[in-house]
């Protein structure tokens, strides 16, 4: 989401719904954005509840970038994801 791109490199507080994803805990925004919370594997009892999460917003690769050689594409993941580093969180009212 464009507004997240403008916040990369800043310490931010985001409000959304706690959810668990394959790569760990995420915050889901009402506008459709998803931000991963670095170092948090799962939300436990907070899953599905509103949370406020504060941390440094960074953009990281989804995974190793695919390599193309002679028309063949290796396994990989194109694109980036937004991540909160050094995050702290609390249940939102």
Measured distance CA(93)–CA(91) in Å, rounded: 7
Backbone angles phi, psi at 63, to 5 degrees: 175, -165
* 7: enclosing H helix or E strand: helix 2-7
* Tens digit of each residue's pLDDT (9 = 90 or more) over 48-61: 999 999 999 999 86
The residue segments making up the domain with residue 36 are 2-91
Confidence of residue 1 (pLDDT cuts 50, 70, 90): low
Q: What CATH number does the domain containing 69 carry?
A: 2.40.50
Which residue in the block uniquely carries the two structure tokens 């436990």? Answer: 44
* Tens digit of each residue's pLDDT (9 = 90 or more) over 43-91: 999 999 999 999 999 998 666 666 677 766 666 666 678 999 999 999 9
- The residue among 4, 55, 47 whose CA lies nearest residue 24 is 47
Domains identified in the chain, total number: 1
């Amino acid at each position: 989401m464009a507004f997240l791109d403008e916040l990369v490199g800043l310490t931010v507080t985001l409000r959304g719904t706690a959810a668990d994803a394959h790569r760990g805990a995420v915050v889901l925004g009402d506008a459709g954005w998803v931000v991963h919370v670095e170092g948090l594997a799962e939300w436990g009892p907070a899953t599905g509840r509103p949370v406020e999460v504060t941390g440094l917003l960074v953009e990281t690769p989804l995974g190793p970038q695919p390599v193309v050689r002679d028309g063949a594409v290796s396994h990989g993941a194109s694109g980036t994801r937004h991540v909160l580093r050094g995050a702290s969180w609390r249940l939102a009212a």
